[in-house]
Structure 1
């Protein structure tokens, strides 16, 4: 390897780390005045990252969309402030002796935002729609446990055969193919929300737009100005309206973390969902009580497109790239928010699972890099024939810095030629979904429920959000087997086998496990961190 080039890459990493680590000593003013309207109602102003790609509950796929949908809709169950499953539209439920049949008793006062009654038949229609191939939901596989869901998703059976039925207007029955320990958790996801059939049939894809949207959550749609603001008003028809405090919620699509911080300081945001890495120490120094750091069911990772060169049929190359990354340096010097280096796929905060790890996880830096170089050469690459690869990421200060550091590590350790491409969020998601020209892409996965399966399922060959194109019959078999096993030692063994297969194949490169960082003004009350990173505006209040 060219020593001068390697030294230059190491120097670049060092300079970038130094730039990230500087603590600014200037004053740090923060305006803390809530917005209160003339009628006395309060307004919650939330930064929300990227513009939501859709507000159709069955087609949305991003965290920004999920944040809005949790306010607009209510499911059979919901996530409590502490992260537990609790009743929502269903006031109670029973599970049959065989753990396959769930019977949900709906509240008798359920209404849509237009005042029309919401019944069990609305849930039957909506659950069928969510798995219908015509809908094209990227999360349809989340309902794979329901009788006939897999065949419907594959186009082999009509949606009407799904194992759901309305016993009466207030009783819903769902039948599973086999016991599924995490099933209730999937019902808190937007894929399980009910949608208003008359609006869907009248407006088609536009049913979620202002003026057309009929919802059943704590808030209803007021306006949606693309790339500006989504405004929601309190929904008086919601079953829990008497316990809802905040009158209006505004979501602002702000991808630039420094811009979000500036608006937070200026009093234009009450809740900033991103924190600039370069300002983290200053924030800790000046407003520590407003910084919330919560361990999360999330993994920051790089996906490798295994459907095309250079990663198709190249496990040694994929492993070499993963091994060449110094994760400890990234979390200690770049993210600096108590993130955990990821040497496996499943976050340690997931309930009921002690994860597997890469077999090289405990090697020294020198041993790890030497092994990476060995695999790189075995894959057919060298100084004279370097790998040429592109890292694609979406806008964001942290994403750019991490991509730059990983590129420098790959150059330094392996001699690879690495380029970077930044894309706007919607374009980026489409690039990953299509997989026609992506090579390496940055993404994150936040668990949809607190069970290891929410991470295992992502890499199933049939899952709609598996952007890598990874398809392993052995992995799919193990993933699907553990999904229907009762919790306990035997399920643990199967899960560990599945994770070991995945890590050996390396279609993904886990970088670190998340600690979500928020800035929330001290007059916003009721916030309680939970590992699912799921929050409802209705659980908060503003007390000037």
Structure 2
């Protein structure tokens, strides 16, 4: 009677083993459950620069020194997003009634990165150093200090600047880096300190030399209230445009791309490009002495005949924005990202008819070494011919191009400007500067001078609106577009990437990098 029970037990064991085997078999056949790779956050970011002559901002004209100086130093003022000045090292300031003097009181408790307090002597020392460098054309900040007559320190934290005239008194001129006076005996000594220069500033970051000459680091300035916790490792490479190729190996984590075909450099790499308006404007310049384009109506007709959006797409790979002014897009908070003369060939014909010029023939001069402008010139030539203008595109090498502009041997030239951060446009528009176009308007001269005086943002914006109206009527230059630049970062990049043409590292104190680790074997 016990035999059946034994058989039943054997049968149960068989089913348990069999089902267990089936479960193993099913598990073997199904794909393994994917696990997320281990991820860590790195607070070390490697940025590329090209070899610079010196890190001394007083005597360096290198672009990389200019950008890095904004991390290492502070100016008396800084620029807001509308390019208006706002206090940085300055606590309070005031102008005299005649705008010939500017009195500034510095903020308390600001220390240099070696612990020495900031003083008015540092401001006087810095301005005089820039003036000494400007006398030999050694600095980027020539125009920033050219209007300064004298500097006096009236108290430990109080400085009085006297100007040669009120039309060079704008606060925007005082954005240059302030350097410590206690590390050099005289301003002239600072100007001579080039190869062995060690930066000491009041900025967010402090300089730390590397083991080799092609590397150094920027670490948080512990004398600041909110010092960054990340580290920016700076590496010298032959060309920043090529740095994006080092993203895949992790050697570089961000770079500035200025070429208009930058998307082709990135290809299929996992990279984000953050575009932003540059300070480079592409323009048509009209020769005011040329009979063909002397009439503003003719210039307006030409502007209306040009398809700017097609130029941006075909010649600049969509890396440009429309702008109705020579001034920076959104200058002083005024919307300008539109075409001053929207594309309308039929209306262009009406303007030509109103100008009563008959059959019009003109030469468009372009630098043959700039492919984007040559192609742009060809498109513009076609646009003008479609409204009945006989346009001849004259392609010249750089030397011939400059000579033609200097002698006025052109009707229209296709070119561009890279403007200074202060956006003082008098050198190309003011009658006293003898613009290459031969343009002159005394009413505009007055406005341009007042814009560069010691006035507030609202008053400056009001003057700018009036100046823009004159410029868009007279049209000595027609702004085709503003180029955009791009900051390239890997898709694992974290933090605020908010570059500006004068501060490409804006937001860098928040930067970090997500790194995915390979799963350990076994």
Answer whether TM exceeds 0.5 for this pair. yes
Deviations 1:473-510 (A, max 9, x none): 4322111234445555x765543332233345544331
- Identify which of 512, 517, 520 aligns with 1:542: 512
Preserved CA contact (<8 Å) 1:324 1:410 = no
- Identify which of 320, 345, 348 aligns with 1:365: 345
Cα–Cα, structure 1 residues 279 and 126, in superposed 2: closer, same or farther, change >3 Å?
closer
Preserved CA contact (<8 Å) 2:283 2:479 = yes
Query: Could you tell me how far 1:415 is from its partner in structure 2?
Result: 2.7
Matches within 5 A, 1:318-467: 322=303, 325-335=306-316, 337=318, 339-353=320-334, 361-362=341-342, 364-368=344-348, 382=361, 387=363, 389-391=365-367, 400-410=371-381, 413=384, 414-419=390-395, 421=397, 440=413, 442-445=415-418, 448=421, 454=423, 456-457=425-426, 459-461=428-430
| CA–CA separation in structure 2 for the residues paired with 1:221 and 1:541 | 19
**Are 1:292 and 2:261 matched, yes or no?**
no
Query: Could you tell me how far 1:172 is from its partner in structure 2?
Result: 3.2
Query: Could you tell me how far 1:292 is from its partner in structure 2?
Result: 1.6
Query: Could you tell me how far 1:329 is from its partner in structure 2?
Result: 0.7
Q: Any gaps of 5 or more consecutive residues in structure 1?
A: 1-32, 144-148, 153-160, 394-398
1:123 corresponds to: 123
2:254 corresponds to: 271
Preserved CA contact (<8 Å) 2:125 2:187 = no
| CA–CA separation in structure 2 for the residues paired with 1:322 and 1:194 | 50
Please give the secondary structure, in 2, of the residue aligned with 1:345: coil
Please give the secondary structure, in 1, of the residue aligned with 2:470: helix
Larger Rg: 2
1:250 corresponds to: 235
Preserved CA contact (<8 Å) 1:68 1:251 = no
Cα–Cα, structure 1 residues 271 and 138, in superposed 2: closer, same or farther, change >3 Å?
closer
Q: Any gaps of 5 or more consecutive residues in structure 2?
A: 1-38, 385-389, 515-522
Preserved CA contact (<8 Å) 2:301 2:352 = yes
| CA–CA separation in structure 1 for the residues paired with 2:231 and 2:393 | 52
Deviations 1:392-421 (A, max 9, x none): 66xxxxx63344223442366343133154
Provide TM-score, normalisation by structure 2.
0.65
Query: Could you tell me how far 1:327 is from its partner in structure 2?
Result: 0.9
| CA–CA separation in structure 2 for the residues paired with 1:521 and 1:408 | 36
Please give the secondary structure, in 2, of the residue aligned with 1:416: strand
Query: Could you tell me how far 1:285 is from its partner in structure 2?
Result: 8.0
| CA–CA separation in structure 2 for the residues paired with 1:334 and 1:253 | 27
1:25 corresponds to: none
| CA–CA separation in structure 2 for the residues paired with 1:531 and 1:236 | 21
- Identify which of 187, 212, 217 aligns with 1:233: 217
Provide TM-score, normalisation by structure 1.
0.63
Tell me the C-alpha RMSD between the 2 structures. Answer: 5.4
2:22 corresponds to: none
| CA–CA separation in structure 1 for the residues paired with 2:169 and 2:334 | 13
Query: Could you tell me how far 1:273 is from its partner in structure 2?
Result: 1.5
Deviations 1:432-463 (A, max 9, x none): 9x9689974643446736xxxx3645645499
Deviations 1:241-298 (A, max 9, x none): 943521532354637x5x354344554432121166556499698747x22234x374
| CA–CA separation in structure 2 for the residues paired with 1:493 and 1:273 | 34
1:75 corresponds to: 75
**Are 1:172 and 2:159 matched, yes or no?**
yes
